[in-house]
Structure 1
Amino acid sequence: MTTDASTSGGGQASPRLLGGRYEVGALLGRGGMAEVHVARDTRLGRVVAVKLLRSDLARDPSFQARFRREAQAAAGLNHPSIVAVYDTGADQVVEHGGARVDLPWIVMEYVEGRTLRDVLRTDHPLAITEALSITEGVLGALEYSHSKGIVHRDIKPANVMITPAGEVKVMDFGIARAVSDSSATLTQTSAVMGTAQYLSPEQARGETVDSRSDLYSTGCLLYEILTGRPPFTGDAPVAVAYQHVSEQPKPPSELVPNIPPAVDQVVLMALSKDREHRYQSASDFADDLRRAVEGRPLRGASFAPTTAVPTAGATTALPATGAPTAATRAVPPVAGAAGIVGGTGTLPRVDDPDAAPPEEERRKRWPWVLLVLVLLGGIGAAAYALLDLGGGGGGSDPTTSATPTAAPVPQVVGLPQGQAEQLVRDAGLEPVVQQAPSADVPAGNVISADPAVGERVALRGTVTLTVSTGPEQVTVPDVSGSSQDDARAALRSAGLEIGSVESTDEDPGAERGTVVRTDPEARASVARGTEVAIYVASGQVTVPDVTGRSLDDAQAALNDLGLNVNASEGSAGSGEPGTVVSQSLPAESTVDVGTSISLVVAPEETTPSPTP
C-alpha cells in the first residue's frame, strides 16, 4: 500500500489509513525512534494506539530491524500487565524528493491512564502499600516475559502505565531481546541502551544481560517510588553509570524515615552489584516485598548459578505468575482525538520522550562505556597509590608484596554479634549493625551481611550486619466474652495461630459458647505465629457435695455456680441440727446452669417450756 499526503477533491485531507483498516488520529507522544498516534480500527470499531517508526530513520536498516524486533518480542507476550500488540505491518510513504520508503508500524492496546513518571512528578513519594502494588504489577509482567525468554532491558517509570482503576501496564519492549540472542551484549550497535538512572551495573559495563538486569532496574524503580528520587543521580549519564558500577545506594529509610528496615533489605538486595547476590527471579523479589510489608520474615533469593532465563519451549525454573489471558481487556472507544490528548488518556509509549535522537545515541553511548572503564581504572590506581603512600613511613622493604586495597567479607552469618563484628574488624573493614526480627536465627546472631560473604570490599569500607532480635513479638488480644468466630479472627489479625478449642465451666456466669480465656493469656507478649488455645464456656457446672454444711454455706456455694436452691426441713434426729442432710442432685454430676437443686436440712433442736 502506498500512502502520500494528497488531499481529496474537496480540499480536506483524508484520514491516513494503515493496512487498509487503521485510521490514524492525533499524535500522543514522540520518542527518539518512533511516534505514537491514537487510531481507530475500522474493522473492529475500537480505539488502538499505532506506533510509527520515524520516517527519517526508516531508511536505516538497523532501525528497521530494531523496530521489527520490538514487534516480534511484544507480540508473543499475552499478560494482563503487559501492553498487548494486536497487529504489525509496513506501508510505503512518498518523500518530498519522490523516493518511496517502507514505514513499519505496530498496532497496540490503547491504555487510558498516566505513566508512573507523571504520577511520581505530582504524587511522590507514594505510600508503601501503593508502592508494593505497583512493583508487584511490574514484577508479574517480568516474571511472565522472562518465562518466555524475553528480557525487557529498559524498565523505568516512563515505561509503566497506571490506569484509572489502578492496573499496572508495562510497555516498550523496543530494546527487549530473547535471552538466546543476548550474547551480542548491549554494545553491539555501539550504543549502551537503557536509561542511565535505571541501568544495571552489567549494562553500564557493556556485558551480557539476563533477567536479573531487569530486577536491578525494578529495584531502582521501587527506590524512586518509595523516596521520590532514583538511587543514583548526577549531572551526566556517565556519572550516573559510574555510580551504578561502583557506589552503594543509601537505604531508602535514610530519605524517608518511616520505611521499615525489612523494606530497606529488599530494595538493597535488588540493587546488589553482583547479580548472583540479587533476587534470582521476579517471583522471589515479589514474595520478599510482600513479606517485608506484612512484617513476616524474609526468605531472600535462591542463589542458583543461573545466568540466563530459559528460552521458550525449554524446561524452565521460572514459573509464570499467572496463566496468560486470551486477550487484554480493550478500553472503550474514546470520543475524539482531542479528548485523548487533552485528558489523562495517554499511550503505550515506546521510547522516552526525553531521550536523545538515535543518531546521537549511537555516537555517544559507546564512549560512555569506555569512559566508565577508564574512570574505574584511574580511581583504582589512585586508591592504590594513596594506600601505598599511607603505609610506607619507615623505609619499607622493596622486596615485600604490594599493600592490599580490598578484603573479602568474612563468614559471619549465624555467628553471635560480638564475634561477627570482631571478624569484620580483623579483615580491615568496619561493621555497621542493624536489627531485624527472624523466626529462624536466634536472637543476637547475624542474619546476613551486605556486601555478601566473600565479596571484596575496599579496606576501611563498611559491612552492614543484620542481627536477629528473635521472632517478632506480638501481643495476645483480649477476646474474653467474644464468640468463637470473632476470637479466631482477632487472633489471626494479630499474627497468631489458633490452637485447641476446649469447653470449660470455670466461669458459670459466661454465656454458653462465648470465650472465657485464652492460653497464653490476654495481653501476654509472644512470638508471631504462636498457637493460642481458646477456652469456651460450656454452660454447665459440676454439682458439689454440700451435705454436712450449714444451709447458708450450701446455698451460697450452689448460687455461685448458677444453681437454684429449694430447702426443706427433715425429720428430727436425721442429722446435726441446721445442716444439710441430703441433696437431690448427686455430687460430681454435670448439669446446666440454672438447674434447681433441693436440699433437706435437719431441724433445729427446741427446748420445752416449763410447766407453771
Structure 2
Amino acid sequence: MRTPRLLGGRYEVGDLIGRGGMAEVHRAYDTRLGRDVAVKILRSDHARDASFLHRFRREAQSVAGLNHPSIVAVYDSGEDSMTEPGGGRVDIPYIVMEYVRGRTLREVLNESGSLDVEDACVVVESVLDALAYSHERGIVHRDIKPGNVMIAEDGAVKVMDFGIARAVADAQATMTQTQAVVGTAQYISPEQAEGQTVDHRSDVYSAGCLLFELLTGRTPFVGEPISLTYQHVRKPPPVPSTLASELPTDMDAVVAHSLEKDRTRRYPDAETFRADLERVRTHRPISAPARASLAALIGAPAVAAATGATAAPTEVLGGAAPTEQLVGPPNPATQPVRRAPVEEWSTSTYPAAKDRRRGGALAWVLVGLALLGALLLGLFAYSQWQENREYRAMLPVPNVVGTDIDIAKKRLDKDFTVTAREVDSQKPKGQVISQDPASKGEEGILQRNGLVTLTYSGGPGSTQVPDLEGMTIGEAKKALEDAGLKLGDREAVDTADQPQGRVVSTDPGALTNQQKGTEVDVTYSSGKVRLPDLTGKTADEARKIIDDLGLPYPKVTERTTDEAEAGTVIAQNPAPGAIRNDQVVAIIIAKAPDKTVTSPPPSETPTPTPSEPTDTGTPKDKGKGNGKDPKTPTDSPTSTEPPLPTDPSPTAGPAPASVAVRPDGWRLSATWSS
C-alpha cells in the first residue's frame, strides 16, 4: 500500500482533481482538523523564480484574508521541498483551500450549451459580488473564466484562484508580444492583451465575456490565441441577440457596456455591472451609459427602434447652422458643400450678395422643416406618455403568500404579469410559498405590468423507496431521508436471512413509488430464530426444518435404543426456543439394536454301536474324513459325542450312507452303511 504524500506535516495528498497551466489541484485530508480540503501545488518551473516565490508568499497571505460566500476560502499556504531528477532540491509552494463538492461552470456549459437569462444573471451577479469584495481589498483576479467558477451541489456560486494569477502577473509585469499573456485568451481584456497595467476593470471585461458565453453558448471572439488577442483589442464584439434571438435589448446593452475596449467607457466597477444585471433580471430600466454603449455599437436609430424610444429633436436636426454661409450651387445634394472663409466674402458686387441670400434661405427652410418635424414628434410622444402614464405607474405588490395559486393569480393579473413555478413541498398542494418581489419594503413596489414570480407547492412529490435490505438502521434512515422519505416503525424479527441489526424488509416495499414525506416501516433481524421441537421427526424432516430456518447444517449422531422408532429424532441440543441464527443444532437419531443369535441345546442321539460308528468330530474336524461340509461354523459348542475317524478309507469300513445336518449348519450325526 502506497503511503500518501504529506504536506506541512498535516495534509495527506490524494487524487488529482484538476490541472491547469500553472498548478495541479489535489483532494487532500487535513489530519489536524479532520476535514477534506483542496491543495493547489504550483508547477516546479514557476517555483524556481525567487522573485515569484516572494510575491506568491505575499499574495497567499492577502488572499487568505478573503472571507466571502462566493469565494473559495483559502485556509493555509506553505512550501514543500522536492527532489528533481538531477538531484537538486526545489521548494514547491502550495495553497490549501476549501473543498467544494460540485461542478465547474465549464462542465455545466459543456453539458447544457448555454443558460437562460435568469440563471445567467444569477451566476454572473454572484461572480461580480465576489469581484467587488476582492477589488475593495486591492486584489484583482485576472483570470475570470468558466473553469474558475464552481457551482456547488446546493447551487452556491464559488470563484476560485484569487491571487495566484496576480502573483504570476507581478512576476511578469513587463510583457512583449513574444511573452505569455496572463489570463485565458477568450476572456482577456484589451489592456491585458496589450501588456498594459491592469486594474479591477480588467475583471469587469472578463466577466462580460463570461456573461456573453453563458447567454449564447460561445465567447465573443473565436479563433487562435494570436487572432483572439487582436480581436479583443481591435474588433467590436457581436451583439448577443444576433446569436440568441430571445435575449432582450437591455441585455445586449449591458453586455456591450461591459465589453467596451476603452476601460474608461466600461462599467467603472463590478458593483455597477451587477446592479444593471439585476435590473435586467427584474425587468427594470438599465443605466443610460449601458444604452449609450449599445447605441455606439449598432447605431442610435437601431437602439431607438429596439427599445421603443422616441428620437430627440437634436437627432432630427442634422443640417448646417442657419448662420453658416455657403458657396457653390444652391442644391447641396448635387454639389459638396464647403465652408467659405470670411476673408473671401465679397460685398462689392450684387451677385455675391445675391448668392448669400439664396443659400441662407435654403438653410432656413431646412431648419423650419426640421422644427416642424420635431414638434410633431414631440406632440406624438407627449400623447403617448399621457396615455400610458397611469399604465406605467409604480404600484405596491400585494401579499399572496399562503393563498391558493389560482386566487393569487387573479389578484395579481389585473396590474402585473405573473409567472408561477411549482416545487415539491410539504405545504398543501397549490399553496403559494413565496413571491418575488416581496410584498413589503422597496422590493414590493413594481411598475404596472411588471413581472411577479410566484412559487407554489406541488405537494410532497413522488419518489422511489430505496432498497434497504442488509443496511443498518442508521444507514436505512440516511437513505430514506436522501429520497425524501421518513423512517417509520421498526420491528425486530427472528430470522437467519440477515445478521443481527440488519434490515430484512420494508413496508412499503423497495422500489415502489411513494409521496415524499411518507413513513417507511422496517423490520430488522433480531439475530435469533425460533427452533421448534424436533423429537419424533425423521432425520430428513429435522434437516429440512433446520435448513428452512437458515441455520448451519446440523450435527447428527445415532444412539441404539428400542424405545423409539429407528431413524427418528430422540434428542436435540439446544432445546426448542429462541437461539442465535448462526448456532449449530445437534440431533440424536434412534438406531435399532443388533439381533443376538442363540444356539439351541444339542439333542440326544443314540449311542453308536461298534458296528455303527458315528461322526462326533468338532466343527474344525468337519470335512477331513470324506471332504464334505468345508464351511461348517467353527464357534459352536463342543460336542460330547466321540470324535469321528480322522481318516476313513474304503478299507477301514463302509462309507456313510447319509449325514443329518440341522438348518443352522450344525451336523448332528452321521449313519454309516455296512
Give the TM-score of the pair, scaled to structure 1: 0.50
Q: Which has the higher contact order (CA 8 A, sep 6+)?
A: 1
For the pair shown, the structure with the greater C-alpha radius of gyration is: 2
